Structure 1
Amino acid sequence: MPTRERMALIVALVLLVALPLVPGAIEAGSALGLVRLPAESLVVILVLSLIPARPARIAVAGVFGALVVVAIALAAIDRVYRTTLSTSFDPADPQSLGDGFSVVADAIGAATAVAGLVLLIGVGVALGSALAWAALRTDGAIRRHRGTGRAALTAVTAAWIVFALIGSQTTAIQPAAAAASADTIGAAVSRASTSIRAQSALERASAVDAYASVPPSALLGGLRGKDVVVVFIESYGRAAVEGSSFSPGVDAVLQQGTAALSKDGYGMRSAWLTSPTFGGISWLAHSTLQSGLWITSQAAYDKVTATQRLTLADVFRRAGWKTVSDVPRDTKRWDVGRSFYHYETLLDARNVGYRGPSFGYARIPDQYTFKAFADRMLAPGHRPVFADLDLISSHTPWAPVPQLVPWSQLGDGSVFAGQPQQGPSAQAVWEHTETIRDAYGRSIQYSLGALFSFLQNVDDPNLVVIALGDHQASTIVSGENASHDVPVSIIARDPAVLGSIDGWHWQDGLQPGSPAPVWRMDAFRDRFLSAFSPQ
């Protein structure tokens, strides 16, 4: 065999052994996963040896290369999901990939993100083509050297079968006989199947609702005349208030806020809610809280929001409240806000009058969100309001972080001019784990400070605030194996409001401790309606 042909065959064999094992190495997080025998390569070579027509062999080799590349992509995506969202990627929920890309684009710039995506696609095409070439090159060598080639193929196949039967391992955790690419694709198909069944069950559950037929006059009697504001604090999870390097700073802000609000006549009760999501996809938490259904994926969200499931917003609307959604990040029409939640007023980045600088993903500072909402919806003589406000200053990438300014100076937001340049950029923050965690902690402190600024400056004795996190921050902040728990607090001046939830046994103040009750987030809707609907 000429030297050039021998070198080409060696390269082909290396590719055939290594690339189909990459999904397993990604899963294990170790390069030792590459030191095994891949079943996929043996199978494709055996199939090629049985096909006489070259065009058919080329097609089979191409499919083989494509399947391995798909397996590598699935393994890599799943690894990212488990690292950031503490869950596996659901192929039945592909829209979450687009949402994740949008977050990356906001963090590093759209042009850089698109260039990176194009590069990854190019690498995938190159790998698939290289594998197809390697399979055809190896098959050609076996055909040219029929005797030794078939003997070698038979010996390797027999070795794989023996290793599989006796459970031989290359390391303490890696079996010598592998089908890593096939296993990855099989696991993805299994997750998709499970997800589809769960969506069907959720759709059926959404049709069963004890409150759907209750007359509006019989609901929310304990909150008549109150302004009820649900405040979702982005990425505000349990790690923010206990057991982390940044929790002492957040706890200090909570302690100061508790003292100041108590002095102003507010009472507070706090506990924990278990969020259906982790590290992102905040709208799953919003829909879970409001619908009383456990919504854990985009596909499930799409199913539920296409129904007429009763939400808290719709209950308040039917009972006479003006209903408002305030999502300062949105720059497009939010159809679900009308069709599912039935909000009367939708506030977003287009109509709150902000003229200040952008703070990256979290374009509008939380303090301005509160001020614009208060000016528009809580003016003297207003109709009682139910509102859902999204705070976004603590959204990934947690930089740049705004600074609090005097409430009276907020105006149109121009007062924030220059602030984005005063702190580190997102790129600088994300160079080290500790700077990421520090930036996250400071962003939560800011969002809480904005909440306290709102409560202390709005003269509304009928104000009731439900403040909670939507989910824990990603694993790089919250840590491995972190729970899905988030703090939740109810804040009100009227003692009767807190008296209505005495049976919940929530703790006083804004800092829930370990003994505080833990509910799944989907339990909140019915317990809330029961507590404040004595009829």
Structure 2
Amino acid sequence: MSLFTRPRRPQDTTEGEADQGEPAAPEEGTPPAATPPGWFGWRHRWPRTAHGVTVGITVLAGALVLFALLVPNRVERLEAGAFLRLPAEGILLATLLLVLKARWRRITAVVAGVLLGLLTVLKFMDMGFYQVLARPFDLVLDWILLDDATDFVRESFGRGGQVLAVVGVIVLFVALLALMTLATVRLTGLMTRHRPVAVRTLLVLGVAWITCVTVGVQVGGVPIASKGTADLVGDRVEQVRAGLRDARVFEKEASVDAFAKTPPDQLFTGLRGKDVLFTFIESYGRVAIDDPAMAGPMDTALKEGTRRLEDAGFASRSGWLKSPVTGAGSWLAHSTFLSGLWIKNQQRYRSLTTSDRMTLTNYFRKTGDWRTVGIVPGVRRAWPEGKFFGLDHIYDSRHLGYRGPYFSWTPVPDQFSLEAFERLEHGRKDREPIMAEIILASSHNPWSPIAHMIDWDDLGDGSVFHEIKKEGTDPKEVWKDPENVRTEYRRAIEYSLSCLTEWVERYGDENTVLVFLGDHQPVPTVTAGSTDKDVPVSIVAKDPKVLERVADWNWTDGLKPAADAPRWGMDTFRDRFMTAYGPQGGAIAAPAP
């Protein structure tokens, strides 16, 4: 006999609890209702169909709860084996619901449903963060990134795409909480009405779970007995505690500055009279050099860049830096590099930019011998943090004179940004030495469409890029195939490198000192799941005395760092650089990687 049609016994229903199954037959003598009860009467007209729908809804409710308990929080783990498990949390929750009294059972069922819904939302958010940042969502520190995510959608797909995305997320969130709560309440009612069967089933499942743990039963390398939800919750509790402690830890770290009391005339004595350019290439990570599918073309591009620079009289040295982020979060990497502090989250960034910590750019400004400027084409609105970094003048996307199209996320192609820097600052007559922070954003995700090099004299106001954009690829088509994404990523990096090396070749002189680096590795679609956070860094100069100062860094000759070249934390660069170009010269001891 079916579980759902078995005659009900008195013990099947708890006193005072409403029966959520078939409605009771009307008492004898009761006049028939104008409309039969139960879904406007259709259950009575088509009982077999109604029974099938009831069973189907119950099955769906069970599947939804199991999905919440078993779904992993990473896309690459979404496979059939992940759902062929026994969740300890489900067994314990069902047992708890059975032993509670009716009133508390209903309350617990609702609360459990809401929590399961929130847990599922958290897992979905983790999936997105792992896909972009190669890490889970931080419940304390990452909320501000949701605003940045909506901005990215707007800039990539327009205002309409942003609105649709936000509305879709809100609807999905509300629907998930509601459906998960209804599913939990429905299953609770089912267990209560069929208590003996439920008790026996839970005993069997509990014994099976313990047996699977003891024996170590697995399917496809995945343990049958699961407690992944409990582990996830435990990890998040510890993550929250660590996030709350991190503010105190960071405050202590930020209070130490080896150069805080150094007189201005003792700073950067080895660079006096030089133009010092710190240039970040967006998403230029180690994968671009080491990945077998990219290594050949990238090796050719870096060798060609090295050769062209050498023909122009420049030498270069390269090494590796470990970034605090991967996939995204460029501002965290930039501030780590410039401040000498490990800026791994938004809380640290806010603390840094509201403090009096001196950055590389601040120290150059402190000497009074350099004009400090920023070329930041990715900035489209007010950037109050710019004052913290000690920049005399900031040129964002609105002040570079560009009249061409966006290239996906990128407001200004790199070649135009560098030509604008030449026009606005570097090429001016009778100027003082410049220290510039330059952001090259053409290699920013999604890497489609990409600009290509043209004659520098033809750049004009950038209108020429309208035709170039039409020749580019469609990001919607590119992102259908990971291999196409990787190819476009490599081409974007090659474009940024070409822009930079050609600019040095065209406009550099004996007083040019260029330090350029990647800010972080690209998204996991490109890195194929690698957790490596290394980025290349290079120093380029025509004056041999500049590179002599860093000879004991043991960096590799040329623009391509060797696989075994020194690897430092990005936060150590500031002090190493300031030591090497201070009065004593030389380098400081390398910390453990």
Q: Structure 1-normalised TM-score? A: 0.92
TM-aligned CA distance change 1:368 to 1:11, over 3 Å: closer
Structure 1 residue 207: Cα displacement:
0.5
TM-aligned CA distance change 1:171 to 1:510, over 3 Å: same
How far does the alpha carbon of each residue in 1:266-285 deviate from its partner, in whole angstroms, 9 at most, with x for none?
Answer: 12111111111111111111
Matches within 5 A, 1:115-514: 115-157=164-206, 159-160=208-209, 162-163=210-211, 166=214, 169-171=217-219, 173-320=221-368, 321-338=370-387, 340-378=388-426, 379-458=428-507, 460-481=509-530, 483-514=532-563
What RMSD in Å do the two structures reach over aligned CA positions?
2.4
Structure 1 residue 528: Cα displacement:
0.5
Structure 1 residue 151: Cα displacement:
4.4
Cα distance in 2 for residues equivalent to 1:35 and 1:390: 48
Aligned length: 532
For the residue of structure 2 that corresponds to 1:132, the secondary structure is helix
- Aligned residues of 2:485 and 2:526 also touching (Cα < 8 A): yes
Structure 1 residue 330: Cα displacement:
0.7
- Aligned residues of 1:313 and 1:341 also touching (Cα < 8 A): yes
Cα distance in 1 for residues equivalent to 2:128 and 2:334: 24
- Aligned residues of 2:512 and 2:541 also touching (Cα < 8 A): yes
Structure 1 residue 117: Cα displacement:
4.2
Matches within 5 A, 1:17-28: 17-23=66-72, 28=77
One-letter amino acid of the counterpart of residue 247, structure 1 = A
One-letter amino acid of the counterpart of residue 531, structure 1 = A
One-letter amino acid of the counterpart of residue 359, structure 1 = F
The range that moved more, 500-509 or 324-333, is 500-509
Q: Identity rate of aligned residues, in percent?
A: 37
For the residue of structure 2 that corresponds to 1:246, the secondary structure is helix
TM-aligned CA distance change 1:68 to 1:251, over 3 Å: same
The range that moved more, 1-10 or 210-219, is 1-10
- Aligned residues of 1:217 and 1:319 also touching (Cα < 8 A): yes
Cα distance in 2 for residues equivalent to 1:395 and 1:533: 34
Cα distance in 1 for residues equivalent to 2:304 and 2:237: 50
The range that moved more, 20-29 or 430-439, is 20-29
Cα distance in 2 for residues equivalent to 1:238 and 1:147: 61
Structure 1 residue 222: Cα displacement:
0.7
For the residue of structure 2 that corresponds to 1:464, the secondary structure is strand
Cα distance in 1 for residues equivalent to 2:531 and 2:128: 16
For the residue of structure 1 that corresponds to 2:394, the secondary structure is strand
Structure 1 residue 59: Cα displacement:
4.0
Higher relative contact order (CA 8 A, sep 6+): 1
For the residue of structure 2 that corresponds to 1:359, the secondary structure is coil
TM-aligned CA distance change 1:70 to 1:144, over 3 Å: closer
- Aligned residues of 1:271 and 1:489 also touching (Cα < 8 A): yes
How far does the alpha carbon of each residue in 1:369-408 deviate from its partner, in whole angstroms, 9 at most, with x for none?
Answer: 1111111112111111111100000100001111212222
- Aligned residues of 2:410 and 2:441 also touching (Cα < 8 A): yes
- Aligned residues of 2:150 and 2:166 also touching (Cα < 8 A): no
Gaps of 5+ in 1: none
- Aligned residues of 1:22 and 1:180 also touching (Cα < 8 A): no
- Aligned residues of 1:203 and 1:304 also touching (Cα < 8 A): no
TM-aligned CA distance change 1:209 to 1:30, over 3 Å: same
Structure 1 residue 221: Cα displacement:
0.7
Cα distance in 2 for residues equivalent to 1:215 and 1:85: 40
One-letter amino acid of the counterpart of residue 436, structure 1 = V
Structure 1 residue 413: Cα displacement:
1.3
For the residue of structure 2 that corresponds to 1:465, the secondary structure is strand
Q: Structure 2-normalised TM-score? A: 0.84
- Aligned residues of 2:153 and 2:161 also touching (Cα < 8 A): no
TM-aligned CA distance change 1:405 to 1:7, over 3 Å: closer
For the residue of structure 2 that corresponds to 1:418, the secondary structure is helix
1:97 to 139, 146, 149: 146
Structure 1 residue 431: Cα displacement:
1.6
For the residue of structure 2 that corresponds to 1:237, the secondary structure is coil
- Aligned residues of 2:281 and 2:517 also touching (Cα < 8 A): yes
- Aligned residues of 2:317 and 2:540 also touching (Cα < 8 A): yes
Cα distance in 2 for residues equivalent to 1:431 and 1:328: 28
Structure 1 residue 153: Cα displacement:
4.4
For the residue of structure 2 that corresponds to 1:453, the secondary structure is helix
The range that moved more, 213-222 or 82-91, is 82-91
How far does the alpha carbon of each residue in 1:168-211 deviate from its partner, in whole angstroms, 9 at most, with x for none?
Answer: 53525434443333332222222232233334212211111111
For the residue of structure 2 that corresponds to 1:23, the secondary structure is coil
Cα distance in 1 for residues equivalent to 2:163 and 2:408: 17
Gaps of 5+ in 2: 6-50, 585-593
How far does the alpha carbon of each residue in 1:236-256 deviate from its partner, in whole angstroms, 9 at most, with x for none?
Answer: 111222333223222222222
Cα distance in 2 for residues equivalent to 1:52 and 1:192: 34
One-letter amino acid of the counterpart of residue 289, structure 2 = V
For the residue of structure 1 that corresponds to 2:262, the secondary structure is coil
The range that moved more, 84-93 or 435-444, is 84-93
One-letter amino acid of the counterpart of residue 279, structure 1 = G
TM-aligned CA distance change 1:65 to 1:108, over 3 Å: farther
